[in-house]
Structure 1
Amino acid sequence: MLLSIIQGLFKPKLNITELAKKAKAGNEEVMNDLLSFSKPFMKKTASYICKRPIDEHDEEYSITILGFHEAVMSFNPEENASFQTFAHLIIKRRLIDYIRKETARKDQLLSLEPNEDDSSEQHFLFNEKSIYTYEEKQRSATRKEELLIYRELLSGFNLSFEDLTKTSPKHVDARKTAFHIAQIVADHEEFYNYLLKNKRLPLKEIESLVEVSRKTLERHRKYIIAVVLLLNSDFIYLKDYVKGEII
């Protein structure tokens, strides 16, 4: 029982990230062991997100397991800061979706049961407003969390938000050009893999494709890398939030 996990505990080089990679590769035994080993983490994560104790009998725990499994199957150690950080983000998204749907369903049922003092229309408007307020709070919380993870991702490339503020192209045309180059890198598998592996842009190859000088590429290097990482991330809310602002 949990043989692969136990072996992992006594091999310094084997960690949860490596176990996740093996599970993703199709090792069902490691996947099962990883799920069992990670029960405390999943319960703690679910309880934190739901703001109440969650155990294995709760529907929220089933959603958490599905989210954890999804995180294993989509985790990329070269893109994501750490497996548990990534898993926390995926689990949170799945739980928020579940809670939002359940809240909407229950509120819709309540809207069909007006009391003697209120009309059904008043109930519907009240519950519709409650749902919107709840969803807006969840979106805001998720954006903040994505921002923290994005900061961590940038740090792996020796970048910070302060760097981006200082080096971001000041003119609209320059920003559009830099953003266009970032899109090329994000869409070009060879360029993107080079960036992830070497933590720098393949400037020579990019220069041969665009009508931009090497000096300009180097000047906007940090901005381009940051945009590439954002474009190829799963930060749904963050990308939507900055849409129209980074170009």
Structure 2
Amino acid sequence: MAANAVWARQQPIAREDGPIPLYYRLESRLRGLLASESLAPGEVLPPEGRLGEIYGVSRITVRRAIDHLSRDGLIVIRQGVGTFVNDQPHIDAPCLVSFTDVALRRGERPSSRLLEFGEVAEVEPAASALGLVNAETMFLLRRLRLLNDHPVFMSSAYLPSQEFRGLTADAVSDEGPEQSLYHLIDRFGVALSDGDEATCAVHATPQVADLFHLERAAPVVQKSCVLRDRRGVAVLYEEAIWGVPERTQVRWEAKLSMIDFPRRAVRQT
């Protein structure tokens, strides 16, 4: 997708009360664009003033976010020339691991509760992450994922309609191995190859707060993941908002890392 089209589709950052600073929310937005490869290495970012207009923030806020991204090597600042997207390292994304499969291997009982299903268009950053243009549609599958009947995270999965024609809400089970997104993707003959993941802090929406019994606008962890097929085409964008306490999430992810199991998808080399 052309860089100009990417910036034209960005929305101002809503000003909300809460502990998450504005610069961090802008930084998280930009990290999401970089992780989704909506911006190619070598592309120049808009000037600070223009970024401020796009996202509705001050130049000081933009500068602080840009400094953090530069410090992490995601962008390169060339004084008097501009700010450029740096080469992004391809890493094995933790979201390539199936939550369902790992839970079943450990003897746990994963389950899902359907919250929303439908065909949508121009929802950001999903549309940009999937490389959709001209109001191309995608399926939204939003579910509450549970472990032993306890809510763990809310998954909002976006799949391009072109790749998953005929998808219905009934295609995904609430229990057993069939509830996994990987099972669904396999059924449509899509072979996953690699992916990228980004983690940021966001405010709990009223829906998230109600699901996990949190205060409104409480800070929660959001993991955004883009998965690509063997052609290098993005076929899934997922936002997973973890509503469990951070220590519980860390324990769960530590358990994942200690399990010896085959990956459902691996990077091409």
Say which structure, 1 or 2, has more relative contact order (CA 8 Å, 6+ apart).
Answer: 2
Q: Which has the larger radius of gyration?
A: 1
- Structure 1 or 2: more helix by fraction: 1
